[in-house]
C-alpha cells in the first residue's frame, strides 16, 4: 500500500478521540482501493488502527482531481468531515444537496409524484439563475436572491401567481430541510412568503359541452372506449387524475359497487361509490 503523509495530524487525532476512538501516535495514511462488491473505488483513511471509508470516487477523473488536490496539501470534503464538528463549513454543490434532499424524501416514503415535483421545481429554480447568468454558490444565496432573481423575474416573464407559489413551496421545503440538517448557515427562504392570489370561481362544463366531449369518443375502437371510460369515471367519482391512473382492476369491488382509491394525495385510502351505468362500462 503506497502511503503519503497528510497534514493536520494533531487535529485529526483529537477528532478521533472525541468520537471515542483510541488512536496511536503514528502517521495517517490516505489511499484509494477497489471495492469489488460495489464495483467502484473507495477513498479510505487509515489512522492508527482505525480504517475509515469516507465515500467512493465516482470515476477516474474524480480520482485524479482528488489526487491533485492532495498533492497541494488541501483536505477533501470527507477529510474535513472528520476534523470538523460543524458540517456547515463544508461547501456542497447544489446537485449534491439536491440528492441528499431527494434521498431523505424517499426514506420518508413520499409519493413518487411529490418527489418528481420537488426535483423538477428545484432544477427549474437553478435554471432561472443560469438564465440570468448568476453564478453563485449555495452558501451565497440570500433572501434578496429569491426576491429579485426568482419572484420578480418570474413575474416579469408573465408566469402566473400559482406557478410562482408552486416553485416557492418546493424551495421552502428544500431550504428548511438543509437548515434542519445544518447543511447551510442561513436559510434564504426564512422571510419569504407566498404571493397572495385571488380565489377565482372554477369554471365548469355545462351539459351540452359534456355531451359533446363524450360524442367525440369512437366506441368501436379501443382508444375511444378507453377515453370514454376515463371521462365517465372522472365525472362519476370526482377522483384526481393521478388517483385514477393508480386504479387496478382488483380495486373494483363489484358486489358493493365501490372502487378503492389507493394512490391518494394525503396517503389515506378511501372508497368511492359508482352507479350501475358506470359498472356496466367498466365490465366492458
- Please check whether residues 171 and 102 belong to one and the same domain: yes
Q: Which CATH number does the domain housing residue 224 bear?
A: 1.10.443.10
144 within domain boundaries: yes
8 Å CB contact between 94 and 138: yes
Alpha-carbon distance of 155 to 159, in angstroms, equals: 6
- Please check whether residues 166 and 227 belong to one and the same domain: no
Domain termination residue (choose one: 85, 107, 131): 85
pTM (2 decimals)? 0.59
| Predicted confidence pLDDT, tens digits, the chain (284 residues) | 444 444 444 555 555 555 554 444 434 444 444 444 444 444 444 444 444 444 443 444 555 555 545 555 555 555 555 455 554 556 788 999 999 999 999 999 898 889 999 999 999 999 999 999 888 788 888 999 999 999 999 999 999 999 999 999 999 999 999 999 888 888 999 999 999 988 778 788 899 999 999 999 999 999 999 999 999 999 999 999 989 998 999 999 999 999 999 888 777 899 999 999 999 888 87
106 within domain boundaries: yes
Alpha-carbon distance of 122 to 38, in angstroms, equals: 30
190 within domain boundaries: no
25 within domain boundaries: yes
How many independent structural domains does the chain possess? Answer: 3
- Please check whether residues 101 and 170 belong to one and the same domain: yes
199 within domain boundaries: no
Domain termination residue (choose one: 85, 103, 135): 85
27 within domain boundaries: yes
Alpha-carbon distance of 158 to 146, in angstroms, equals: 17
Alpha-carbon distance of 45 to 28, in angstroms, equals: 7
258 within domain boundaries: yes
- Please check whether residues 53 and 28 belong to one and the same domain: yes
- Host domain of residue 30: 9-85
Q: Which CATH number does the domain housing residue 170 bear?
A: 1.10.150
142 within domain boundaries: yes
Amino acid at each position: 500500500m503506497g502511503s503519503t503523509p497528510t497534514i493536520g495530524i494533531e487535529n485529526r487525532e483529537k477528532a478521533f478521540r472525541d468520537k471515542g476512538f483510541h488512536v496511536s501516535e503514528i502517521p495517517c495514511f490516505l489511499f484509494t482501493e477497489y471495492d469489488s462488491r460495489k464495483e467502484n473505488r473507495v477513498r479510505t483513511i487509515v489512522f492508527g488502527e482505525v480504517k475509515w471509508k469516507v465515500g467512493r470516487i465516482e470515476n477516474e477523473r474524480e480520482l485524479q482531481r482528488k489526487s491533485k488536490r492532495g498533492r497541494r496539501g488541501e483536505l477533501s470534503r470527507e477529510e474535513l468531515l472528520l476534523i470538523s464538528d460543524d458540517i456547515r463549513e463544508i461547501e456542497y454543490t447544489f446537485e449534491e444537496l439536491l440528492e441528499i434532499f431527494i434521498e431523505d424524501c424517499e426514506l420518508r416514503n413520499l409519493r413518487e409524484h411529490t418527489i418528481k415535483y420537488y426535483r423538477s421545481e428545484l432544477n427549474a429554480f437553478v435554471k432561472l439563475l443560469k438564465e440570468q447568468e448568476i453564478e453563485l454558490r449555495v452558501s451565497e444565496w440570500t433572501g434578496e436572491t429569491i426576491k429579485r432573481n426568482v419572484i420578480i423575474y418570474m413575474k416579469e416573464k408573465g408566469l402566473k401567481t400559482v406557478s410562482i407559489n408552486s416553485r416557492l413551496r418546493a424551495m421552502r421545503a428544500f431550504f428548511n430541510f438543509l437548515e434542519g440538517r445544518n447543511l447551510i448557515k442561513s436559510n434564504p427562504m426564512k422571510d419569504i412568503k407566498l404571493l397572495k392570489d385571488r380565489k377565482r370561481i372554477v369554471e365548469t362544463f355545462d351539459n351540452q359541452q359534456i355531451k359533446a366531449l363524450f360524442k367525440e369518443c369512437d366506441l368501436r375502437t379501443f382508444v375511444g372506449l378507453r377515453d370514454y371510460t376515463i371521462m365517465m369515471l372522472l365525472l362519476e367519482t370526482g377522483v384526481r387524475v393521478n388517483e385514477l391512473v393508480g386504479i387496478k382492476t382488483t380495486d373494483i369491488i363489484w358486489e358493493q359497487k365501490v372502487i378503492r382509491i389507493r394512490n391518494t394525495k394525503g396517503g389515506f385510502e378511501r372508497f368511492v361509490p359508482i352507479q350501475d351505468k358506470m359498472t356496466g362500462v367498466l365490465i366492458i
